[in-house]
C-alpha cells in the first residue's frame, strides 16, 4: 500500500488483522498526508459529527472513542490538523502490525502474478497486490505572474509573511479553497483582490436552500449542487455576493476587466483542483500504462487498485451526471465497497 494520507489510513483500517500483518506500507511524506503536512491550519468543510460518523462507519472503529473530535462541539468544523491528530491516534496500534517503509515509490511494474515496487533509492519489493493512495498536487495554470503556493495562501499566518497588503492578487477558483484564500487576503488588508471563476455561477452553495440564501443575487440555482461551497466557505460567498467585501471583485476568466486584473496583479493563486500524483506504472511488457481507474471497483489493472484523491469513487449529482467523491466520508464508503473485489 503506497501513501499514508487519510485514504491510505482508511484502507489499512478496513483490512482484517491477518491482512495487515502481510502488508508493506510505503510513504515518503507523513502520516495524515497533505492534510497533516500542508493544510493543517484550514478548517474542515465537514462538522465533527460528520467526520466522526465517517470514522465510525469503519467496522474496526465502530465503537471507538474519538477523543480529539469528541472534545469539540459536534456541530462545529474542526481544523484539519485535528482530523489528522484523530487519525494518527487511531492508527497508532495498527501501523506496527504492518511493515512500514519511509520510502518514495518511483515505479510499479507488473510481473506475472504480481507487481514489483521500485523505490527512489533503488530497492525493489515484489508483491501480489498493490494499492496506491498517493493523493494529488494543486493544478497550475500558466499565467505570467508569480504564484503563491496553495498551502501558503490557505494559511493566514504564512500568507501574511509572504506578501504585502499593498500587493494585488488574482485567485483562480472560487470553490472551497478559493473562498478561504479570498478571506485570508481580505483579513490581512489587501485592497485589490480578484476571485476568478471559469463557469457561471461563481459560487455554488451546498447547504439546504432558504429564502435568505443570496444565490438568486447572482442568478444561480446552485443551492443543491453538491460540489459547491459549504460551512465557512458558504458564509464567505454570502458576504461577497451581498457586497459586504468591497476589496474583493469576482470576475469571469474572460473579458477586458479580467485581462487587466491579471496584467496588474503582483501574484496569482491557483485554487483550481488537483492532478493526481502517482508513481510510473508499467505493464507486463515494460510499457508505461496510463493510470485509468474504474471508479466503481477502484481497479487500475489486474492486482492494482487506487483510492483517495488520486483515484476517487464517484457519486450521482442531484442535478444529473457524476462527480468525483473527494473527502473522508466518500473515501470510507468507496473503499469499503471495493474491498470485496480486492481481498
Ligand atoms: C484545502 C483542503 C481542504 C480539504 N478539506 C477537507 C475536509 O474538510 N474534509 C475532507 O474529508 N476532505 C477534505 N479535503 C479533501 C481530501 O480529503 C484531501 O485532499 C486529502 O488530503 C486526500 O487524501 P489522500 O490520502 O488521497 O492523499 P494525500 O493526503 O495527498 O496523501 C498521499 C500520501 O501519499 C504519499 N505519497 C505520494 N506519492 C508517493 C510515492 N510515490 N511513494 C510513497 N509515498 C507517496 C504522500 O507523501 C502522502 O503522505 C480537503 C482538501 C484540501 C486541499
Q: How close is the Cα of 257 to the center of ligand 1, in Å?
A: 35
User: Which of 139, 129, 132 has the alpha carbon at shortest distance from 105?
Assistant: 132
Measured between alpha carbons, how far is 284 from 96 in angstroms, rounded to an integer?
33
Are both 6-137+274-342 and 140-270 of the same fold? yes
* Alpha helices per DSSP H over the chain: 6-14, 17-20, 33-37, 48-56, 67-70, 80-91, 150-153, 156-162, 176-187, 231-241, 256-264, 328-342
Whether the CB-CB separation of 175 and 199 falls below 8 Å is answered with no
Counting from 1 in the atom list of ligand 1, the atom nearest the Cα of 106 is 41
Measured between alpha carbons, how far is 149 from 271 in angstroms, rounded to an integer?
9
The answer to whether the CB of 308 is under 6 A from ligand 1 is yes
Task: Report the top-level CATH class of 6-137+274-342.
Answer: alpha beta
What pLDDT, on the 0 to 100 scale, is given for residue 232?
85
Phi, psi of 277 (to 5 degrees): -115, 105
The answer to whether the CB of 225 is under 6 A from ligand 1 is no
What pLDDT, on the 0 to 100 scale, is given for residue 221?
42
> Would you kindly state where each structural domain of the chain is located, as residue ranges?
6-137+274-342, 140-270
Probe residue for ligand 1, chosen from 309, 310, 331, 332 as the CB with the greatest number of ligand atoms within 8 Å: 309
Whether the CB-CB separation of 192 and 281 falls below 8 Å is answered with no
State the pTM of this model: 0.92
- Look at the block and give the residue holding cell 501574511: 160
Q: How close is the Cα of 278 to the center of ligand 1, in Å?
A: 12
Along the chain (343 residues), what's the average pLDDT of each consecutive run of 10 residues?
98 98 97 96 90 96 98 94 97 98 98 97 97 97 97 97 97 95 98 95 71 51 54 90 96 96 98 95 94 95 97 80 88 96 93
pLDDT tens across 219-239, in order? 444 343 446 787 888 899 999
What topology is assigned to 140-270 in CATH?
FAD/NAD(P)-binding domain (3.50.50)
Amino acid at each position: 500500500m503506497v501513501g499514508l494520507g487519510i485514504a491510505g489510513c482508511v484502507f489499512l483500517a478496513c483490512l482484517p488483522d491477518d491482512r495487515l500483518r502481510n502488508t508493506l506500507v510505503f510513504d515518503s511524506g507523513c502520516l495524515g498526508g497533505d492534510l497533516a503536512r500542508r493544510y493543517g491550519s484550514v478548517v474542515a468543510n465537514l462538522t465533527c459529527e460528520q467526520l466522526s460518523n465517517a470514522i465510525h462507519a469503519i467496522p474496526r472503529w465502530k465503537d471507538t472513542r474519538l477523543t480529539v473530535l469528541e472534545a469539540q462541539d459536534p456541530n462545529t468544523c474542526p481544523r484539519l490538523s485535528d482530523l489528522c491528530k484523530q487519525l494518527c491516534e487511531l492508527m497508532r496500534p495498527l501501523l506496527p502490525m504492518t511493515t512500514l517503509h519511509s520510502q518514495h515509490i518511483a515505479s510499479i511494474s507488473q510481473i506475472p502474478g504480481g507487481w514489483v515496487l521500485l523505490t527512489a533509492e533503488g530497492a525493489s519489493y515484489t508483491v501480489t497486490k498493490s494499492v496506491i493512495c498517493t493523493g494529488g498536487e494543486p493544478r497550475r495554470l500558466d499565467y505570467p505572474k508569480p504564484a503563491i503556493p496553495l498551502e501558503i495562501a490557505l494559511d493566514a499566518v504564512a500568507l501574511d509573511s509572504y506578501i504585502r497588503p499593498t500587493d494585488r492578487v488574482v485567485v483562480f477558483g472560487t470553490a472551497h479553497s478559493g473562498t478561504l484564500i479570498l478571506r485570508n487576503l481580505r483579513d490581512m488588508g489587501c485592497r485589490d483582490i480578484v476571485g476568478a471563476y471559469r463557469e457561471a455561477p461563481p459560487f455554488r452553495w451546498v447547504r439546504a436552500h432558504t429564502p435568505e440564501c443570496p444565490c438568486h443575487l447572482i442568478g444561480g440555482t446552485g443551492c443543491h449542487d453538491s460540489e459547491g461551497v459549504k460551512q465557512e466557505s458558504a458564509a464567505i460567498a454570502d458576504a461577497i455576493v451581498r457586497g459586504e467585501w468591497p476589496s474583493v471583485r469576482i470576475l469571469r476568466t474572460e473579458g477586458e476587466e479580467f485581462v487587466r486584473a491579471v496584467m496588474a496583479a503582483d501574484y496569482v493563486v491557483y485554487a483550481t483542483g488537483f492532478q493526481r500524483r502517482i508513481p510510473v506504472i508499467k505493464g507486463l511488457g515494460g510499457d508505461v500504462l496510463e493510470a485509468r481507474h474504474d471508479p466503481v471497483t477502484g481497479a487500475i489493472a489486474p492486482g492494482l487498485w487506487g483510492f483517495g484523491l488520486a483515484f476517487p469513487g464517484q457519486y450521482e449529482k442531484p442535478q444529473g451526471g457524476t462527480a468525483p467523491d473527494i473527502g473522508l466520508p466518500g473515501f470510507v464508503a468507496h473503499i469499503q465497497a471495493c474491498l470485496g473485489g480486492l481481498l
